[in-house]
Chain A
Amino acid sequence: MKKLFEIFLRAAVVLAGTALVTFTLLWYAPGDPAATIAVARFDSTVSAEIVDKIRIEAGLDAGFWPAFRHWIGPILVGDLGNSSVSGTPIWPEMRTVIALTMPLAMLGMTIGLVISIPLAILAACNQGTWIDRGAIALASLGAAIPGFWLALLLILVFAVKLSWLPAMGTGTARHLILPGLTLGLGVAASLTRILRSALLEARNAPFLPAFIRRGVGVHERALAHITPHAAIPVLTVVGLELAFLLEGAVMVEVVFARPGIGNFLIQAIQARDFPKVQAVVLLTAVLFVVVNLLIDISYHLIDPRVGTQDA
């Protein structure tokens, strides 16, 4: 119980920290933030009075901490605020773009799992053979290819040369194939390596010979001992893959000109729409922290040894 409390305390501290870092970066951005908002909303000939009005309205006049409170207060009750360019609420717009990115991320994860799980099992079962070496070589190659270049190559082959699939845009399921494949191959590359070594380590665990001699059956060994042992590194990777999927979504959405959270972020940066940028960055970090919190808790459920030493 004490350990769970410690986990939650950590998550709370980290969440507060991410909010502070997000705010600090945009607070110290070059230029007067109020003027930036004014110029974005009107044009560069905006008068000083309006700039001052905006400064007070956005809580920017009283210094760092009041401005931070002004920003974080509504967010804590679920209001991400308004775009500084259009003045419209951010959350409804963000919800729609997240809904557009979700199928892409899910397809990418699915393709990644479908490729990496059989490949990792094959490699681990044939350790040291050419199958194993081939799987590692493929995974190394996949990890070294820049995602956007892979996307360009896929467009070149499947859209330009073969004209099987559309290169850009959204709409049909066919539009999802190339972006999903780009993401999925990236996921597969990192998952294969980690799954393989997790399986090998679990299979070579020192307690297994003891179980065999004690007469524990094959199925019980596999289900009750090897699987949980291999699950821990895999869980860690799921947390890391989340970051990869988010980064990948930014790249893939730009290359394939798909609307989604990645393009939303890039457009917000280009428009200097800071509230939107802050919302995306903060949401990303919160998602990452929450997922890792869940993973941390499930470690304790899977393996009671975790947390007995200071981690």
Chain B
Amino acid sequence: MRELRPIFIIVVLLVGITVFGPFLAPNDPTAIDIPNRLSAPSEVYPLGSDAMGRCILSRLLYGARWSLGLAFLVSTIGLIVGSLMGLLAAMGGRKIDWCIMRVTDIFLAFPDLVAAVVIVGVLGGGTNSLILALSVTSWTRYARVARGIGLGLSSRGYVIQARLVGLSAFSIARWHYMPTLTSSLVVVWTGMLARAILGISALGFLGFGVQPPTPEWGTMLLDARIHILSTPLQMIWPGMAVLLCVLTINITGDVLRDALAKKEIRP
């Protein structure tokens, strides 16, 4: 458990920034200050200001709520829907399994970003369509993992016994499937969380994400792109924010996976 300690600190830090970011921000993220537009880092604007003179640090901190918060929401929706589908496939018998797996194949056939861009583009911008766009393909990964492990469990003695004893399907799922599934699903969840952060910023950058003036990291990069010649620093910060978050989350996932693998080997 000792190797999990730094990870724990990072997770607390990320959650802390998401929740308390707005309180740490030195300025109003939407306050326009045209005379000081595109300024270099200063005491008032620690990371400089953007094309409308808005404080970049404040926008980054407020933006965490969108970039990280939304990613958290989306990957958790995927986790719930996907693991339920996977469980149903694993426990429901061959026919249900076949049908559910074909449905996941169908949704897997659409590349995440293409599906997301089309959904937001067609249904219109807005948080609801953004959430739908990002979770419509992601649940399939959880479903596959849950089903794969679940099928293995279905032939185990204690599961068969539980069924013969007459335990309800819900109890079997809760007490015989979930404990084994949880650890693998959490590892998938960290990976999907990282992908969701990348997806949200990509959508923002393409102009299909969170709508301005709401600060979001991808949208900030879209704004910064035009000023790449005059103030290249402006496009460094949001990119760094995305990179650091995704990197730490991915490393967290790797460490968790290794820790769980070790635990499984040990009796």
Q: Of B124, B225, B232, B243, which one neighbours A146 at CB under 8 angstroms?
A: B243
CB distance from A255 to the nearest CB of B (A): 8
Given contacts A285-B109, A288-B109, 7 further A-B contacts (CB under 8 A): A144-B250, A147-B202, A149-B243, A155-B228, A247-B111, A247-B112, A250-B117
Does B192 belong to the interface (CB within 8 Å)? no
CB distance from A15 to the nearest CB of B (A): 8
Does B20 belong to the interface (CB within 8 Å)? no
Output the residue of B102, B106, B108, B247 with the most chain A CB within 10 A: B106
Residues of A within 8 A of B115 (CB): 281
Number of interface residues of A (CB under 8 A): 46
Does B246 belong to the interface (CB within 8 Å)? yes
Residues of A within 8 A of B45 (CB): none
Q: Which of A18-26, A83-91, A174-182 contacts B (4 or more CB under 8 A)?
A: A18-26
B110 touches A18 (CB 8 A): yes
| A147 CA to B225 CA, complexed, in Å | 14
Counting residue pairs across A and B whose Cβ atoms lie within 8 Å, the total is 126
Does B169 belong to the interface (CB within 8 Å)? no
* Complex interface residues of chain A between 265 and 311 (CB less than 8 A to chain B): 265-266, 269-270, 274, 277, 280-281, 284-286, 288-289, 310
On whether A289 and B109 interact (CB within 8 A), knowing A10-B102, A160-B229, the answer reads yes
A25 touches B121 (CB 8 A): no
CB distance from B60 to the nearest CB of A (A): 14
A284 touches B110 (CB 8 A): yes
Does A148 belong to the interface (CB within 8 Å)? yes
Does B160 belong to the interface (CB within 8 Å)? no
| A250 CA to B249 CA, complexed, in Å | 25
A251 touches B113 (CB 8 A): yes
B250 touches A140 (CB 8 A): yes
On whether A143 and B118 interact (CB within 8 A), knowing A18-B109, A281-B110, A284-B111, the answer reads no
B229 touches A254 (CB 8 A): no
* Complex interface residues of chain A between 233 and 268 (CB less than 8 A to chain B): 243-244, 246-247, 250-251, 254-255, 265-266
Does A215 belong to the interface (CB within 8 Å)? no
Residue of A nearest to B94 (CB): A310
Residues of A within 8 A of B194 (CB): 144
CB distance from B237 to the nearest CB of A (A): 11
Residues of B within 8 A of A246 (CB): 111, 114
Residues of B within 8 A of A286 (CB): 109
Residues of B within 8 A of A30 (CB): 123-124
B202 touches A146 (CB 8 A): yes
Partner-A contacts on B (CB < 8 A) = 94, 102-103, 105-115, 117-119, 121-124, 151, 194, 198, 201-202, 205-206, 218, 221, 225, 228-229, 232, 235, 239, 242-243, 246-247, 250-251, 254
Residue of B nearest to A31 (CB): B124
| A254 CA to B221 CA, complexed, in Å | 13
| A286 CA to B109 CA, complexed, in Å | 8
A277 touches B118 (CB 8 A): yes
Residues of B within 8 A of A251 (CB): 113, 202, 205-206
| A129 CA to B205 CA, complexed, in Å | 39
CB distance from B71 to the nearest CB of A (A): 13
B109 touches A269 (CB 8 A): no
CB distance from A46 to the nearest CB of B (A): 21
Partner-B contacts on A (CB < 8 A) = 10, 13-14, 17-18, 21, 25-26, 29-30, 140-141, 143-149, 152-153, 155-156, 160, 243-244, 246-247, 250-251, 254-255, 265-266, 269-270, 274, 277, 280-281, 284-286, 288-289, 310
CB distance from B111 to the nearest CB of A (A): 4
Residues of B within 8 A of A144 (CB): 194, 243, 246-247, 250
| A289 CA to B198 CA, complexed, in Å | 25
CB distance from B261 to the nearest CB of A (A): 13
| A21 CA to B119 CA, complexed, in Å | 11
Residues of A within 8 A of B206 (CB): 250-251, 254, 266
B239 touches A265 (CB 8 A): no
Q: Of B105, B117, B202, B247, which one neighbours A269 at CB under 8 angstroms?
A: B117
Residue of B nearest to A285 (CB): B109
Output the residue of A152, A270, A284, A289 with the most chain B CB within 10 A: A152
Residues of A within 8 A of B114 (CB): 246-247, 250, 265, 280-281, 284
Question: Which 5 pairs across A and B sit closest by C-beta, in order of nearness?
Answer: A269-B121, A17-B106, A149-B239, A144-B246, A144-B247
On whether A21 and B107 interact (CB within 8 A), knowing A140-B247, A269-B122, the answer reads yes
A281 touches B118 (CB 8 A): yes
